[in-house]
Structure formats: structure tokens, C-alpha cells
Chains A and B, each alone.
Chain A
Amino acid sequence: MKTLQDFLLSFPFKHVNPITPVGAELINYDSISSKPFDTGTSSDILVYLPYVNENRKRLSDDDVLQIMQLPQVVGVLIYYPRDLPIREQLKEIYELFKVPVVHLTYPLKETVLHEKASSNYRLIQDTHGTTIDELFQRSLSIRTAMAQPVTVMDQNFKSVTRPYEPEASSDWMQFLIQSRSKWLQLYYFHPERFVYEAGNQSTTLSCYPVYVQEEIRYFLITPKTDVEWYGRLLEYYALLLSLVSQQEEKVDELHLTFKSHFLHDLLYNNFKSEQALLEQAATWGWNLNEPNELVVIRVAAGENSQHLLHEGWRTELFDKLLKRFRQDHPTGMIEPFQNDIVLILRMGLSGRLKEYLQKVITRYMEDSEGIIIKAGIGKCYPKTKELNKSYQEAMMALKLGHEWSRENNVFHIEDLGVLRLLFYLNQDHLVEFSSSYLQPLIDSDQQHQTDYLETLKQWIIHDTSVQDTAEAMHFHPNTLRKRLQKVNNLLGVDIYNHEDFVNISIAVKIHTIDFFQTNVKNLS
């Protein structure tokens, strides 16, 4: 004996839209007929009708009403490839006769050809070109067919499906909202346990896990049911969710890889021509035709706060920053790249860019205690192909600006002054120049841990203000004066003399650039 439920489970899921409940009881039928008035009353029939017939006449609710009055009719299937206009009227008719009505968006005759390979064919049909969001919305059809709530929850036990209208303030929704914190606490790290213990909840549940890449990504839940065909329907729905989300994740991964390759090629000058670069950028939806400014944002934990930060803080902060920057600059190119965030913005912001970044960074640093956010800005080049230079300059500004700034978190390459120049000169000459001035201090620092170089550096950073420097280094101004006197004696110069100060200041800056080169000696 054939049943309506078996028929629905063999038909491509994406093309089945129950308008009324199908019911828990199996509905038997002998044949499917398109001419219900011509068949006898001895056998049960499923009526199959196109919404628009061969004579272009539309099916009306009166037609359906007449069909339902026939005693041999156990169900009605209506084919129409779009939304059915008489949906609400059909629901009212159902209340009178309790004969289920199902809207099919795919004609019946074509599926008969595939009957032998129906299960594979159905799976291919259901996964081909289907997005996960479309599938989430399909839960409403299941809910209608089963006449009970069906919800898809993510790993955080948050519903990802839109609730059925009358359900929005129902007991089921209240139950989900109230249980969420408890479930998070108990099952967040043990999602399998939630599946096993679904039957023990205050509202007993049937739970179907949706696995994606060997871990549970979604839970499909409904109030406990023992109806066999409901189980088969939900299992199939969970399988579809799993296949489609796996497929989407793979596509997303691929998309990310290609995007990161493009960014790498852009920031390291790997394009043969400017034209090739612009064309590829356009495929990603970025218009790089005009001169752009490039910013690198770096996020790091403060020296003493590493242990205070929770796992995943970086990803969380990155997401927040990316969201904010993308909101503020919808046409900009804002992407994570090699542990930093890279912003490529049209030149319009020029002049205000530093202020804007400083404002955003200060706001997020206030929100996230113990986290340091810094930004480096490169020069704006007329050609897009030169963005690689701008990127390197932004990185340099980040590195050196960080060493030589008092309070700022945003550094423009042009603010580095003589430091920028030093970066390009022959290292051996620079080191020789620096050592010729600072060697006595380097030796003293190494032998007696005197920290004279750091003192001198801070004094230069703080515009030779004794008060500010002492405050920054947490000691008394007199101690600083004494140290500076000692530095004078060791170097044999007068650092208060303008000419000596300029030379010493440059020597200290060189020393900072090449800090690592002079700090390592002991090979024993």
C-alpha cells in the first residue's frame, strides 16, 4: 500500500511545500489522479492538479472545495513553480475537511522518470545550488507538515531559523529562551551530551545533530515525537543541512584562500601590469583605479596582561574592528592579512585619516583592557601597483613609530623624520656612527645594568623634559638629572649643547633601529 508520507519523502525536498498539516497518521492511497470526478469511489486517490491548466485556467478555491467533498480523495497535490496565490483559502478549506494539501514546485510527471534512482536523484536535486539560508527557511515547511515546532540551533544554542509567526511568543519559544543559558553552561563543550540528554529536558525533545567536518555545528530539535515518518523527515533534513553547510564552508575556505592570494600579490608587487591588477581587483568588487592610502593595524596583548586575556580574544577583536572599519568605509578594501588588518582607502580622507584611526583605536582600547592597538600608515602613491611600497612603509612606521612615540597609537611614515632616512642607509656605516658615540653607554648598560640608553631615549622622546621623562620612567627628577650627568661624563659630550644633542639623538635612533644587532654578543 502506498502512503502520502512515502510519496512526500521520495519527492525532492526543496519542491515540497505543505500548506496544511499532513498529520501523524499514515494516509494510504491507491493511485494518483488528475481527474478525480472520473474515478470511482471504491479506491482512495491522491489528486494532482496544476494550478494553471492547459487552457490557462487557474485553479480556484471553489474547485478545491468541490474536490475535497469527494469521499475517495485523501490528499491534494497542486503544482505551481512559484508562490501559490490561494494559500490562505486552502488553509481554511482544510479546517472543514481535514484533507491535506501540498504545493509542489516541480511537476510530477517528470519525476516519475527518475523513480528508479529516486533517493540519489532527490539528494542531488536538494543539494544543487541550495544555500544554507534557504535550507533554514525550509524548517517552516517541516513545521507545517508536522504541525509542531521545529527549530535549528547553532553551537551557541541560538535559533538560526525564523520562528513560525504564531509561535513567536509561544511556550516553545519561551522554553528555548529560558533554557539557553543552562544549555550553554552544560553542553557548550560537550555538544554530543546534549543530543543524548535531549529526552531529559523539562520539555522532552527529539534532537538530530548536524555534523560539519566531524563536529556538531547545528542541532535540529522538536518536541519529543515517536511518529516514524517525522523521524525520517527530520533525519533527511539534518543530512541536507550537513551536506550544504559542509559545501558552503569549503567554498568559503576557497574564497578566502583566493582573496588572501590576491592581497599577497597586491602587497608584494606580484602583478605583471597595473591593468591585470585592476581587473582582478574588480572581480572582488574593489575599485582601485584611484590613488589609495594604506594602513596596517596591529593588535597585541600588553606586556603584563597576556595571562588575563581569554582564549580567542584576538579573533573577537579582529571581528569587531573589521566590522567597524567596513561600516565606516563601505567602498574600502579592509581585510585581515598576516596577523594584521590592512585597510586600503580612497585618498579622500587625507589629513583626517590619522585622527579617525586614533579615535577608533582609543575607543576599542578603552573597551578591551590590556590590549594594545597600533596603526601604521604608508605614503599615498599615484599608481596602484606601488601599493607594495606603501605597505612596507606602513609596516616600518608601525615598528619605528612604536619605539619613538609618547602616547600616539597611529604613525604615519612621514612623521618618522630622520628615522625614515636612516632605515634606507648602509647599516654598517650607521652602526659604526652609532657605536662611536654610544659605546661607553652600551658597555656600561651591559656590565652594570645601568639602563642609560633607555634613559637617554626617553629623555629625547619627551622633548628633553626632565619632569615628563622622570614620570614616564617612574623615578624622581633628581635621579634623572644625576643619570644625565653620568651620561655626559661617560660620553664626554654636553648633551645640553644643541650640536651634541643632535648627534647623540641620531645615534640613539640608529641604535633603536638596530637594537637586536648590538644586543647579542655572548657565544659561550
Chain B
Amino acid sequence: MEQYHFIIQADRCIECYSCSASCYQEHRSAQGDLPRRKIQHRTGDPNYPVYLSMSCNHCRNPVCVTICPNNNYTKRRDGIVVHDDTHCEGCKLCVEACPFDAPQLNPITGKVDKCHFCYERLSEGLAPVCVANCPTDALNYAKLSDIVAVSERYSGNDVPISRFTSPAIIIKKQTESKQHFL
């Protein structure tokens, strides 16, 4: 079966936070909600900082699914991991366990919220809001086979990222730092 993947072209990211801002605008529904997408600074060599626009990577073996005591997480047939907060008690187990910091606790509602790949937009034929608003095309998405070997997905990628949950993400190799002008 095929599942949705985020594709990140690391050398195109200019750390403009458009993805984060648009996500916040689209999905903020309660006081205390946080943007579901964040830009993380990953670095091996300090001369070449890597900006990764990270959110839920809709892993093949999502640790949040295993750990949630109320079984609130489901993975749809298209691979999107969805959290139903109806019975969420805000125990924060998923928040602690996720290697990508995808689930976030809203301190006011006491419930967890996470990226759901804008599946309502996908059903209307639109791209996720973060992808649609990325000015440099650093962020993209595609529906790909989920049986692709891990080594193939990360070919040429030197970005440090946890892989034990088999995240549905492709990070294109950072070649050299570039100066972008908008």
C-alpha cells in the first residue's frame, strides 16, 4: 500500500517559518494551541547548519500508537497517523516518547494535538497547508510505497534523524550552504 510522505529539500529551507505560521493559522482552534510544524536546527558541522521543517512523520511503526493508554491513535490506509482527542487525558506519554516531538500538549485544554497531514485538504485535492505555503519548495509531499527500504528513503542523506520508528519522510541531501534572497 502507498502512504503519504513529507519530502524535505534541506538546502532550500531559509528558515522563514511560513510553514509553521500557516499551520498555526489553519489549525488553531483553541486557546493554547501550538503550531503543529516546527523548524528544528540539526547540525553536525557548525559551518553547515541544517534547517529541518519537522512535524509528525506518520511513521510506519508509530511509537505514539503503542504507548497511548486509551488507544487514541489510528493510522489510516493512506498512512496518516491521526489522534482522536475525545478520550485524551493529557498523560503526555506520547509527547515524551515521540522522537520528532510531534504530539504537543495544549496546557489550557489539557489534550494532545498533532499534525494530521491536513487530510481534509488532501480530500479536496489541495496540498497540506505547510507545503502550499513554502516559498522555496523546500517542503513537499508525495504518496509513495511504504515498503521502500529505509536505506533507499534516506539515500545520500547525512542529516541526523531517528529512524527506528520508520518515519515516512524523505530528506534530500544538504550539499552546501546557499544564500537565498526573497
Residues of chain A whose beta carbon lies under 8 Å from any beta carbon of chain B:
260-261, 264-265, 268-270, 338-339, 385-386, 388-389, 392-393, 395-396, 399, 423-427, 513-514, 516-518, 520-524
Given contacts A396-B61, A522-B45, A426 and B163 within 8 Å (CB-CB) = no
Given contacts A338-B147, A523-B174, A385 and B162 within 8 Å (CB-CB) = no
Structural contact, A396 and B66, CB atoms closer than 8 A: yes
Structural contact, A516 and B65, CB atoms closer than 8 A: no
Structural contact, A523 and B50, CB atoms closer than 8 A: yes
The smallest beta-carbon distance between A211 and chain B, in angstroms, is 29
Given contacts A392-B62, A523-B48, A524-B48, A427 and B158 within 8 Å (CB-CB) = no
Q: List 9 A-B contacts (CB under 8 A).
A: A264-B1, A268-B74, A269-B73, A395-B61, A513-B164, A514-B162, A518-B160, A520-B160, A523-B174
Which DSSP category, helix, strand, loop or mixed, fits chain A's interface? helix
Residue numbers in B under 8 Å from A264 (CB-CB): 1, 75, 77
Structural contact, A427 and B74, CB atoms closer than 8 A: no
Q: Does B16 contact A (CB under 8 A)?
A: no
Least CB separation from A523: chain B residue:
B48
Residue numbers in A under 8 Å from B99 (CB-CB): 427, 514
Structural contact, A521 and B44, CB atoms closer than 8 A: yes
Q: Contact mask B73-100 → A, CB, 8 Å, 1/0?
A: 1111100000000000000010011010
Contact of B158 among A386, A393, A523 (CB under 8 A): A523
Structural contact, B71 and A424, CB atoms closer than 8 A: no
CA of A277 to CA of B96, assembled, Å:
30
Q: Does B113 contact A (CB under 8 A)?
A: no
Q: Does B33 contact A (CB under 8 A)?
A: no
Q: Does B39 contact A (CB under 8 A)?
A: no
Residue numbers in A under 8 Å from B65 (CB-CB): 268-269, 388-389, 392
Given contacts A269-B65, A392-B61, A386 and B71 within 8 Å (CB-CB) = yes
Contact of A424 among B62, B75, B76, B96 (CB under 8 A): B96
Structural contact, A260 and B1, CB atoms closer than 8 A: yes
Structural contact, A523 and B45, CB atoms closer than 8 A: yes
User: A270-B76, A426-B97 given. 12 additional CB < 8 A pairs?
Assistant: A269-B75, A388-B74, A388-B75, A392-B62, A424-B63, A426-B96, A514-B164, A520-B160, A521-B160, A522-B158, A523-B158, A524-B176
Residue numbers in B under 8 Å from A396 (CB-CB): 61, 66
Q: Contact mask B58-70 → A, CB, 8 Å, 1/0?
A: 0011110111000
Given contacts A393-B66, A426-B96, A517 and B160 within 8 Å (CB-CB) = yes
Residue numbers in B under 8 Å from A423 (CB-CB): 63, 97, 164
Residue numbers in B under 8 Å from A523 (CB-CB): 43-45, 48, 50, 158-159, 174
Structural contact, A517 and B76, CB atoms closer than 8 A: no
Residue numbers in A under 8 Å from B45 (CB-CB): 521-524
Q: Does B161 contact A (CB under 8 A)?
A: yes
